[in-house]
Structures are given as C-alpha cells and as structure tokens.
Amino acid sequence: MIKGIIFDFDGTIIDTETAWYTAFNEAYAEYGVDLTLEQYSTCIGTSLNSFNPYEYLMTDLKLAIDKEEFSKAVKQRHSKLMELETIRPGIQHYLDSAKAAGLRIGLASSSSLEWVEKYLNQLGIREYFECVRTADHVAKVKPDPELYNQTLACLGITADEAVAIEDSPNGSKAAAAADIRCIVTPNEITNFLEFDKQHHKIDNLSLLEFDHVVTQRCFV
C-alpha cells in the first residue's frame, strides 16, 4: 500500500533544467563553443562534480574568462528565463490529491535547500511538504540513494510504501537504488536522455491518473 509520495524538484515540479541549458548554451556560444546536450546532461539531477559548466571553458578549454562575471551572467539569464516558467502540469493536482488522501509528502533534491525553498515559496506549495531533504543534508547526492533514504526515514515509511516522481536519469537511478518505484516525467531537456526501462515514463503527471499511482496499477 502506498503511504507517501516523494518528489524531485528541479525539472520535476518546475522546469529549471531547460532554462539552465539555454542560459549556458547561449553563454558558451559567445565564445564559439557548442555545449551539447549529451555533455550537459551529465550534471542534470546531481552535483556539478562530473561536469561543471561554470568552469569548463576556463579549466578544460583554457579560455581567459572571468569566472565570477561568467557565472553572474549565466545566473541572470537563467533568472530571466525562469520568469516564464510555472509549475509543471499535474503537479498541483497530485499534491492536492495526496494531501486529501492523507499520504505523506516529501521532497528529495540534489540542489541546495536555499534554492528549493525559494521556488517552493514562490509557487505557493511549501506547506504541502512535511519533509524536505537537499544537498545540504547528505554527503552524496543523486544518483546515490542517500537523499531518498533520508526522506523515507523522515516520513516514517518504507521504500515499498513510497512512489518517487523524477525527471532525470540520475534521479530515477537514485530512487531505484533506494528500492522505490518511480514515475519519470521528463521535461524538454531530459526527454532526450536514456532512462532505465523499469520505471513508468510519461510526459507529465496530468496524463496519469493519481489513483493508478497509489494503487500501483501503473507499475503492473
């Protein structure tokens, strides 16, 4: 029996990923460099350790760029693009339905707590989440399962009593590593990435009945 739902944040609740890729791609283009989706995708849903788009032009390509100014410009462009973004389809319905059904609601994100709280409050949905775990709470972020394991413990439920909502391969791998069934709702960017087949993949939550998730029919 499903007793709780754990949401990823970036790209799942609101599509921050497309705005980031666009901002970085535009910034790279100013220096005649093409930032491929394949290259950028390695840092989606995880930390920047594998590929750091803020530093790549300077560290790997040895371009004479002011890191602070580059970072500031990218973040400003991202903020501007995010003004056009709203909560993804189906998310509000799932939050309301989960709350009405008495399910525990958690959030597990590889981003910082400050970043997550900013947008949860901006979207007016912070109150739905009784447990929020971020990069500030763990030693390793996704695809490591620590974020999910901590969120399960915080909610007081077991892995087989939970469903995870993710948008990226790294996130879905973390859910799988924690033995949690996962619904994958890729966004414009992560839709082109390869996911493990054991997950239930759908364009967005508005296309999947809430009851099919809590009764686990979508996993049959």
Active site residues: 8, 10
Q: Sign of torsion, CA 156 162 165 166?
A: positive
Do residues 9 and 119 lie in contact, with contact meaning Cβ atoms separated by under 8 Å? yes
Q: Is 114 exposed, middle or buried (0-12, 13-18, 19+ CB in 10 A)?
A: exposed
Strand 104-108 versus strand 200-201 pairing type: unpaired
Both tokens of 165, joined, read 């909502």
